[in-house]
Structure 1
């Protein structure tokens, strides 16, 4: 689990409130963004290091290839933003909303998502390593062709999830409360599921194997 309280961040005492504007290729070190709303920014290739985000909304905008290293986010909303090919390391995200967001080709390592809502988020060809989703709702998330290693979903709801051609290693789905796979059930090779989930996925597996199931 990540750090839940702002005051317990190892860099909390060094943070300074950020009141400026985010810019392309900007370098932001130990800044605290709070109670801000950013609309349609072009802040690609920006770098955030040991920074905090509290009650911030990003409407649209292009943040492609930006880096988020050792960041802490609370109640942050990303709506229609392009976060493709971004790099996330040691990030803690709690109570966030990501809707219509692109994270295609992104690299996420040792990232914790808690109490977050994902709606139509594109993780295609992304790389997720040691990422934990706890008490999150993921609706129509697309993990097609993504690489997932050491990923856990605890207390989560997955609806209309696409995993076609994904590569999974040590992915734990047993804690998922609702497991809805829209396509790519074959890509679950490398994932651990419960017996109840196996029964739930049986119709998809039968269809994949061309098995006709009938009691007539």
Structure 2
């Protein structure tokens, strides 16, 4: 697994221009834009487009970016709380040392996205489609993958706590590198995932319960 890039490593770094507006606008087109140490409380910027842009030290709270698109973006030290990212589209994105709490990302599409050292708490990914997504050395607490589609998703060094996979569809999902597998529900939907023998032993009681098997000595 590669290391996260610094801002200067981005191929479009030399072309970035600082965002000088006070707000994020609905339908805004943010192409080759740099957002640094900015706060956007309660911003409504549905259907916005971010491409070849960088966000560093940005704080988004209680806003909405529903149906927005994020193509080839870099986020570092970003804090997102209580914000609506439902039905968004993410392609070739890198998220580093960022935190998401109480965020709705349901029915979204994430392709070739990597989270490095991030913390996701109470993030709703219901019905989302994740393809070639990696959660690296991250914490996922109370993350909801109900009815989501996960393809080629991995969790190296990450900790899952109270994750839900009810009616999820998994294909080539690699859980072997996870530091901890805390799954609340949806054990019967883990078909298509790869786990280690040790993880299988740890999860055996939950698997048995999901299959209606009683374990007795």
Instruction: Give the alignment's TM-score, normalised by structure 2.
Output: 0.98
Quote the residue 1:98 is aligned against.
100
Q: For this pair of structures, how many residues does the alignment match?
A: 215
Say if 1:3 and 1:9, in contact at 8 Å, map to a contact too: no
Quote the residue 1:18 is aligned against.
19
Query: Does structure 1 residue 201 correspond to structure 2 residue 175?
Result: no
Structure 1, unmatched stretches of 5+, are none
- Written as runs of structure 1 = structure 2, the 5 A alignment for 1:90-169 is 90-169=92-171
Runs (4 or more) in structure 1 with deviation over 6 Å come to none
Write the distance in 1 (CA, Å) between the matches of 2:213 and 2:130: 33
User: Which structure shows the bigger proportion of residues in strand conformation?
Assistant: 1
State the Cα deviation string for residues 139-193 of structure 1 (Å, max 9, x = none).
Answer: 0000000000010100000000000000000000000111011001011100000
Say if 1:141 and 1:161, in contact at 8 Å, map to a contact too: yes
State the Cα deviation string for residues 63-93 of structure 1 (Å, max 9, x = none).
Answer: 0000000000100011010000000000000
Displacement of 1:201 in angstroms is 0.9
Say if 1:139 and 1:158, in contact at 8 Å, map to a contact too: yes
- Does the residue aligned with 1:160 lie in a helix, a strand or coil? strand
| Aligned with 1:187 (options 186, 189, 194) | 189
Say if 1:139 and 1:160, in contact at 8 Å, map to a contact too: yes
- Does the residue aligned with 2:175 lie in a helix, a strand or coil? strand
Quote the residue 2:6 is aligned against.
5
- Does the residue aligned with 1:174 lie in a helix, a strand or coil? coil
- Does the residue aligned with 1:125 lie in a helix, a strand or coil? coil
Say if 2:188 and 2:211, in contact at 8 Å, map to a contact too: no
Write the distance in 1 (CA, Å) between the matches of 2:136 and 2:104: 21
Write the distance in 1 (CA, Å) between the matches of 2:54 and 2:204: 44
Write the distance in 2 (CA, Å) between the matches of 1:49 and 1:115: 23
Say if 2:45 and 2:65, in contact at 8 Å, map to a contact too: yes
Quote the residue 1:31 is aligned against.
33
Instruction: Give the alignment's TM-score, normalised by structure 1.
Output: 0.98
Say if 1:2 and 1:112, in contact at 8 Å, map to a contact too: no
Quote the residue 1:53 is aligned against.
55
Quote the residue 1:62 is aligned against.
64
Aligned-residue CA RMSD (Å): 0.8
Displacement of 1:3 in angstroms is 4.6
Change (3 A) 1:134 1:3: closer
Segment of structure 1 superposing worse, 142-151 or 19-28: 19-28
Write the distance in 2 (CA, Å) between the matches of 1:54 and 1:190: 36
